[in-house]
Amino acid sequence: MASSAQLKALLHAHVSGDIERFRSVALQVAAHEAKIGHVKLAEELRDLVKKAKSQQQVVSISKGQRDSSGLLNISSPSTKLSDLILDEESRSQLDRIIKEVSHINELRSHGLNARRKILLVGPPGTGKTYTAAALSGELGYPLFEVRLDSVITKFMGETSLKLRQIFDSIESVRGVYFFDEFDALGADRASGNDVGEARRVLNSLLTMIEQDNSASLIICATNYSELLDRALFRRFDDVINYHLPSAQNIENLLARRLKPYAPARLNWKARAAKAEGLSAADVKVIADDVVKEVLLSKATKFKTEWLDRAIKERQQVTRSQRKSR
Ligand SMILES: Nc1ncnc2c1ncn2[C@@H]1O[C@H](COP(=O)(O)OP(=O)(O)OP(=O)(O)O)[C@@H](O)[C@H]1O
Ligand SMILES: [Mg+2]
């Protein structure tokens, strides 16, 4: 039994919010119990202190309160998968992920793993980031975006330590964890221009992914499929490929946003054909431009030439962007 002095010290530490002191007194109590032969109780007490410590670390990471914790951005998006326009294969892959993750315990009880380590590959503006938000929205899990700029430092040891911290959070706080442009970890800047070392940092992330046994969803995204080797793909339960939208999907994207403002008998197909080669994000910009023009000119419908102009402008912007790359 804890002495009255220890009890008082515990209460005092609790009231003053001194967690370190609380922990240290609790460990003293455990040590005292061990000494008088209450080994099991001592063990239980130590376990409780350990558990409280790891949870507290996670909370401080989660809330981004401390500098050491600026590793994750947290949000609770209400985005839904139905907002995404994708090809059928990607859509059914995403549906399957949601189904499996929602039944993770049932699957585990039969010795099966839910698909929850996912790689998204595809060009800019095709919906990868949006997908991470939609999976979080659909599952009702918080979205933790890993801030790679904070993770990556010149020192490989430090970077690996920060990754370890993130994986502790993945383990103890169930959520959707999103590593956007995760291949940046393998780039030169990750470790003072030493390519070999950068590669090791990326490999240490991949090993952590492989060893993870949590109930969280881990999503990595990249634009560069050609840089990724087979060994890398193997670490994921599923790889989803994103593409520029087909003419039909461009038409769907345009119509969904513009239908209420469209003039009668608009040839949607012809407009969609003009926008081919653009990303879904570009098509969104086009539709937004047209809606803005409708609102600001106090019109109820747009003119066909407004839409054509917006498409042409966007095509020019992307062409000059591609050239400058
Ligand atoms: N497939 C899609 N269906 C509907 N809207 C989309 C789709 N893809 C992109 N968008 C729209 O474009 C915006 C930007 O897309 P997003 O940020 O998801 O692209 P990304 O693939 O992550 O690009 P990057 O590789 O540049 O990070 C989204 O917020 C959404 O409004
Ligand atoms: Mg993105």
Ligand 1 centroid distance, CA of 128 (Å) = 6
The finding on whether 90 has its CB within 6 A of some atom of ligand 1 is no
pLDDT given for residue 15 in this prediction: 64
pLDDT given for residue 67 in this prediction: 33
pLDDT given for residue 194 in this prediction: 65
* Domain pair 72-241 / 247-324, same fold: no
What is the CATH number assigned to the segment(s) 72-241? 3.40.50.300
**Ligand 1 atom, smallest distance to 180 CA:** 27
* Reported pTM: 0.78
The finding on whether 125 has its CB within 6 A of some atom of ligand 1 is yes
- Protein residues placing their CB within 5 Å of the ion ligand 2: 128-129
Q: Are 128 and 120 in contact (CB under 8 A)?
A: yes
The finding on whether 283 has its CB within 6 A of some atom of ligand 1 is no
pLDDT given for residue 24 in this prediction: 79
The residue extents of the domains of the chain are 4-62, 72-241, 247-324
pLDDT given for residue 210 in this prediction: 94
**Ligand 1 atom, smallest distance to 245 CA:** 1
End-to-end CA distance of the chain: 70
Q: Give the Å distances, CA to CA, from 300 to 234, 290, 297, 303.
A: 53, 12, 9, 10
pLDDT given for residue 109 in this prediction: 96
CA dihedral 166, 172, 175, 178 (to 10 degrees): 10
Contact partners, residue 239, CB within 8 Å, separation at least 6: 118, 119, 120, 121, 233
The finding on whether 223 has its CB within 6 A of some atom of ligand 1 is yes
pLDDT given for residue 16 in this prediction: 58
The finding on whether 243 has its CB within 6 A of some atom of ligand 1 is no
CATH of 247-324, one of 1.10.8.60, 3.20.10.10, 3.30.300.30, 1.20.1070.10: 1.10.8.60
Under-70 pLDDT residues of the chain: 1-2, 13, 15-20, 51-69, 187-195, 226-228, 325
Task: Please compute, for residue 259, the number of CA atoms within 13 A of its CA located in the half-sphere on the CB side.
Answer: 6
